[in-house]
A and B are shown apart, each in its own frame.
Chain A
């Protein structure tokens, strides 16, 4: 399964990473090598093997729907890159 530069560009977009040309080239080579190594998985027959998503048997964890105070707004906003009053400020989404 050889990667193409197009794949890398596509994946970078999915991952929301604005890679430079040089980065795309670098990752192309490195990811190919890693994926090549990962091929070893195909030698194992897993046809009737269930997938392990978690090592402890987890189903839904239920609790009462009770509101508890977490943090005050100012302390949350203190880490915001940009804000206005009590809101996070971002670039305009809709023209």
Chain B
């Protein structure tokens, strides 16, 4: 089994056990990433030298008998809007094209001390504004399942890096769905933590009341591992929550029996891809069959979410991006003859169309005479949206919705119509507006693309509004949980996939065998899938049709099968997901 098939936790275990060196791991991932990135274009830059130095430092620790940390030697791809000392941090913008970070973002410093190795910086929509990576000033990243399609955005590069196993883990940022939507479209796990849970120091600000950094992983247990390393209070970010961080990994692996899942009727709308709806409903049915209690809930202000977001986010962006003036860093126009021109020309030349559009929109909404009608109004409706969730969480523990209304769309399909593109975020933005955590989990494929189910744990319990990702261990739900996507070592199922010639475990890469139901006795229903999971049968239900190896590599082989595919939902993934709980 090759290294890139391993889960992050398994890589760390092997590095610590001296079964493989961190250097070997880094070399292997760098080689693979560079080879496949020619067609995927997930990375804006690689940091080979720094990565190898980090890896060697980890190896030194190990050989000295010291513990290099929970992510010992684990390669991580970082969205290029976070500062990593000595690497370019461009935000996929020309205005920062030549900016080299001279300090570490807090998350980066935390990951360094956890033993992680940074492979490089991943592509995004410029300043994280977009849903497809088409707004990158440099190039568009390709969906590994179908290169003619976009990977989603804005953290598209990070999603692709993980989906194509160019890195076992990646960091993204989520302002309106920028982790969850690309995770959905690429078939990986993507988690947006509770607002305030992860420090944003060193993250280039987009919309300060919404931004949050979070993990991409191939399974939830790896996502928990990564979140554990980056969560916590940071005095350098005055919005970070000073609340103890629970042990996410320990909270995984509990059953769903008795878990109350709410399905908001407003999220199953006309215009939604019927295949997406079918898969999501199938997944929920599977959870129900495992003992979860499903009921309908209502989030009546759902239809206002998009409008609230597209007032608040651009308004905050217009203020945050005022700092790009061509004085201390970033692009400076050579045409300018005075200081005002230096500002105006530098910004006009440096920002791309979507960024300018949002700066214009935000400036307008904040301008004298319009502030009350737009910004203040949006903030008030935001309160109504938040109250919707508070009310819903009185009767349910989590809310399950589709992550996006459609699967991955073709490059160019929506890029001429900003409003259509904005609609890709319609199901994800309310989490940001309400400050809630949200996780996107694979639940099948449409013909050719992955789609997802998004579960929103109510980490904001009434008593502890922002108490963390699992304030009530018994209730907080990690939909994917340990038994679900990945399980502990996470390599069990993958091995079986590889055995079947499927070296890519991405969307189907769930580890059913590693941690069968029952350890907690929550599957007292004794459903047949149990043994199926163990022997990989459940995986085949949805994994085989794709037959996908590394998506890129396998494409030619599997294309013909793609049409037939479609996961059909079969609920496969969800059988595994059941027992999970709580990274929320």
Contact = CB atoms under 8 A, between A and B. Distances in A.
A51 B343 contact: no
Contacts of A34: 310, 361, 418-419, 422
B326 A81 contact: yes
A33 B343 CA distance: 28
A25 to B, nearest CB: 13
A37 B418 contact: no
B41 interface: no
Nearest to A23: B356
Interface string A10-52: 1110111111100100010011011101111110101001111
B383 A51 contact: yes
A86 to B, nearest CB: 13
A58 B311 contact: no
Interface residues of B, number: 71
Nearest to B102: A75
B378 interface: yes
Contacts of A37: 306-307, 310, 419
Contact of B337 (A1, A44, A91): A91
Contact of B364 (A11, A19, A51, A56): A11
Contact of B342 (A42, A70, A91): A91
Contact of B380 (A15, A16, A50, A63): A50
Interface string B44-86: 0000000000000000000000000000000000000000000
Given A17-B351, A81-B329, A42 B196 contact: no
A78 B111 CA distance: 26
Interface string A42-74: 101010011111111110010100000011000
Nearest to B337: A91
Interface string B314-340: 000010001001111111100011111
Interface string B374-394: 101111111110100000000
Interface stretch (B22-30, B234-242, B245-253, B286-294): B234-242
Contacts of A70: 103
A16 B347 contact: yes
A41 B331 contact: no
B359 interface: yes
Interface string B534-565: 00000000000000000000000000000000
A89 B175 CA distance: 35
A19 B356 contact: yes
B195 interface: yes
Contact of B338 (A39, A53, A75, A92): A92
Nearest to B235: A63
Contacts of B267: none
Contact of A31 (B361, B373, B381, B382): B361
Q: Of A16, A17, A31, which is in contact with the most chain B CB atoms at under 10 Å from its CB?
A: A16
B239 A58 contact: yes
Contacts of A46: 377, 380-381, 383-384
B310 to A, nearest CB: 6
Given A31-B357, A38-B307, A56-B196, A91 B336 contact: yes
A51 B103 CA distance: 35
B376 to A, nearest CB: 6
A38 B418 CA distance: 13
B347 A81 contact: no
B379 A16 contact: no
Contact of B382 (A35, A38, A42, A52): A52
Q: Of B241, B380, B382, which is in contact with the most chain A CB atoms at under 10 Å from its CB?
A: B380
Given A12-B360, A38-B310, A58-B239, A90 B376 contact: no
B347 A56 contact: no
A85 interface: no
Contacts of A44: 301, 304, 380-381, 384
Nearest to B378: A41
B303 A17 contact: no
Given A51-B380, A52-B383, A55-B434, A31 B360 contact: yes
A62 B168 CA distance: 39
Contact of A14 (B341, B367, B382): B367
Contacts of B329: 79-81
A7 interface: yes
A75 B343 CA distance: 23
B465 interface: yes
B100 interface: yes
B418 A30 contact: yes
B435 interface: yes
A84 interface: no
B379 A78 contact: no
Contact of B102 (A14, A19, A71): A71
Given A7-B364, A79-B100, A56 B308 contact: no
Contact of A16 (B343, B361, B384): B343
9 contacts: A19-B348, A27-B360, A34-B310, A51-B382, A52-B382, A55-B195, A75-B102, A79-B98, A79-B99
Given A17-B359, A31-B361, A63-B235, 7 more contacts: A15-B347, A17-B360, A30-B418, A33-B419, A55-B386, A58-B238, A79-B100
Among all A-B residue pairs, the 5 with the closest Cβ atoms = A55-B435, A51-B379, A81-B332, A18-B344, A46-B380
